Amino acid sequence: MPADLTQVLDVAAMRAAEAALIVGGTPAQELMETAGRALGEWARRLGAGRPVTVLCGPGNNGGDGYVAARHLSEHGVPVTVIAARAPTTPEAMTARALYAGAVQEPEVMASGGVLLDCLFGSGLSRPLPDDLFALLTGLADRHALRIAADLPSGIEANSGAVLNPGLPMFDVTVALGAWKHAHYAMPAAPLMGALRLVDIGVQAVPGAARILAKPRIASPAADAHKYRRGLLAVLAGAMPGAALLSAEAAQRAGAGYVKLLASTRPEGVAPSLVCDVTDLAALADPRVAAILVGPGLGRSTEAVGRLNAALVADRPVVIDADALTLLKPESPGTAPRVLTPHQGEMAALEAAFGLSAIGPRRARALALAVAARAVVLLKGPDSLIASPDGYVTIGPRASTWLSVAGSGDVLAGMIASRLAVHGDAHRAAQEGLWLHGEAARRCGPAFTAGDLAAATGYALSAALL
């Protein structure tokens, strides 16, 4: 069976998957050979022949390092191996024994081209002791290119916690066998540099989280018309500007018809955007395929009324921004729904639904998804999507320029547009999150939310079948 290279595993699942390979007939040593040689090849190519310093720890991460060092030596690359601690696992001991070159004691302070950090990987269980922290940072300061084996040492694999403040930034992290949550979770993610993954044959683990993949979006059918492509109703609120941003993005994300529901037409609305001043009465139109409520809604009693009107209409709905702070367990409606909280709105929802705010973000998002019978897109530099049936999708790192006012309004519009097209809340959240990242990538630096909304169509074009 081909390996699954989109899954994100916690340490226990990774170990179980490796054990399954071993039980299936692949010796642990062979796994280490496969991983270590691929690691060595990455170091050779990225280093372009420059000398490589391999820092080896006591576990199998270190074992990978000895294999990588042997691979580099075999290819004529100058290698210095530093054993920070003696190997303690059978595979690492064997790997060290097979490495014919000299192994330096940690007192040696090498410098030069490439540092390959094989100190610790997914087995790190506590902060680095001072001597190892000093060794790692000292070597990092002395090498032009820093490559982390599996994970930068000092990172907790499951949570992405940085166990030692002041860890070095890496240029490349070569994940071994499968992605770990730390590769995409804050605060570790920014330390990783470019991410690469080595296939050692790890099979799909049922229920594992997955990296968000580029969606496959179909163009409208030949007999399409605006209602068949999906009418989206965007509820304006106290501050219509946010809903206008959402509507602008939604008009370019696939929906056939986007209406702004407001009692009066806001100033400066583009002619292409219909504003239905019958307002909430328009929700009764059976042709409404999806609703977006929240951007600019406000938190007044009227806002609660508008939210409930949207929920009573019982259409697929995206609940965003202020509406998330008004949503209660007793709120009406059973239609498919997507919640798009940032961290603060998440805390408000957890309080409203009686959930704990403790634990990994993916566990919290899953708990809310079940409690609120909704797909939850928990936003942040490490956005993730949780579905009520237990699936977690990890958003790949996106442009840090998305930290701009209105970015969430645009995302909500993209998701709502996709929801209007097909009515699938989980798929709409995934498609919207991908479009948001792709639109930002296409905008380059320092874009406004208006630029981002305007780039939605170009992002969509990258996902078309």
Ligand X SMILES: NC(=O)C1=CN([C@@H]2O[C@H](COP(=O)(O)OP(=O)(O)OC[C@H]3O[C@@H](n4cnc5c(N)ncnc54)[C@H](OP(=O)(O)O)[C@@H]3O)[C@@H](O)[C@H]2O)[C@H](O)CC1
3-state secondary structure of 251: coil
Report what 64 binds from K ion, ligand X, none; CB cut-off 5-8 Å by kind: ligand X
Does the footprint of ligand X cover residue 126 (CB under 6 A)?
yes
Under rule CB under 6 A, which residues in 246-285 are in contact with ligand X? none
Binding segment toward K ion, per CB under 5 A, in 149-157, 267-275, 392-400, 454-462: 149-157
Please name the amino acid found at residue 240: P
Strands 112-118 and 337-339: unpaired
DSSP-derived secondary structure for 131-153: HHHHHHHHHHHTEEEEEEESS-T
Site string for ligand X, 61-80 (x = CB under 6 A): xx-x----------------
Q: Which of 8, 92, 145, 149 binds K ion (CB under 5 A)?
A: 149
φ, ψ of residue 199 to 5 degrees: the values are -85, 120
The reply on whether position 129 binds ligand X by CB under 6 A is yes
Q: Which is nearer to ligand X, 37 or 259 (CB)?
A: 37
Flag whether 63 is marked binding.
yes
Q: In whole angstroms, give the CA distance from residue 159 to residue 3.
A: 24
Query: Whose Cβ is closer to ligand X: residue 57's or residue 295's?
Result: 57
Picked from K ion, ligand X, none, the partner binding residue 117 (CB below 5 to 8 A depending on kind) is K ion
When binding is defined by CB under 6 A, the residue of 40, 47, 58, 333 that contacts ligand X is 58
Reported as type and span, the H/E element at residue 180 is strand 179-180
Instruction: State which of positions 136-165 bind ligand X (CB under 6 A).
Output: 149-150
Which of 89, 104, 137, 448 binds ligand X (CB under 6 A)? It is: 89
Closest CA to 185 of 340, 376, 383, 411: 383
CA–CA distance, 169 with 320 (Å, rounded to integer): 35
Site size toward ligand X (CB under 6 A) is 29
Nearer residue to ligand X within complex by CB, 148 or 414: 148
Q: Which of 88, 219, 300, 461 binds ligand X (CB under 6 A)?
A: 88
Pairing of strands 143-149, 112-118: parallel
Tokens representing residue 285 in the block = 């139109």
Reduce the DSSP state of residue 374 to 3 states and report it. coil
- For residue 216, state whether it binds ligand X (rule: CB under 6 A): no
Binding-site member from 125, 219, 400, 461 for ligand X (CB under 6 A): 125
Q: What part of residues 264-323 is at the interface with K ion (CB under 5 A)?
A: none
Rg (CA), the chain: 25
Q: Which residues are CB-neighbours of 222 under 8 A, at least 6 positions away?
A: none
Instruction: Work out the angle at residue 423's Cα, subtended by the Cα atoms of residues 235 and 219, and round it to the nearest 5 degrees.
Output: 100
Residue 153 — φ and ψ, nearest 5°? Answer: -65, 135
Run of H or E residues at 28: helix 28-47
**Between 197 and 303, CB nearer to K ion:** 197
Backbone angles phi, psi at 116, to 5 degrees: -110, 110
CA neighbor of 452 nearest in space, from 424, 393, 410:
410
Is 417 annotated as ligand-binding? no
Please select the residue that binds K ion; options are 34, 53, 60, 153, rule is CB under 5 A.
Answer: 153
Contacting residue, 42, 66, 99, 120, with ligand X by CB under 6 A: 120
Residue 402 C-beta-side C-alpha neighbours within 13 Å: 26
387 near ligand X (CB under 6 A) = no
Nearer to ligand X, 65 or 256 (CB): 65
Binding residues for (6S)-NADPHX: 60-64, 121-127, 150, 242, 296, 342, 409
Q: Which residues bind ligand X (CB under 6 A)?
A: 18, 28, 31-32, 35, 57-62, 64, 88-89, 120-129, 149-150, 176-177, 200
Site residues (CB under 5 A) for K ion? 117, 121, 148-149, 153
User: What are the binding residues for AMP?
Assistant: 379-383, 408
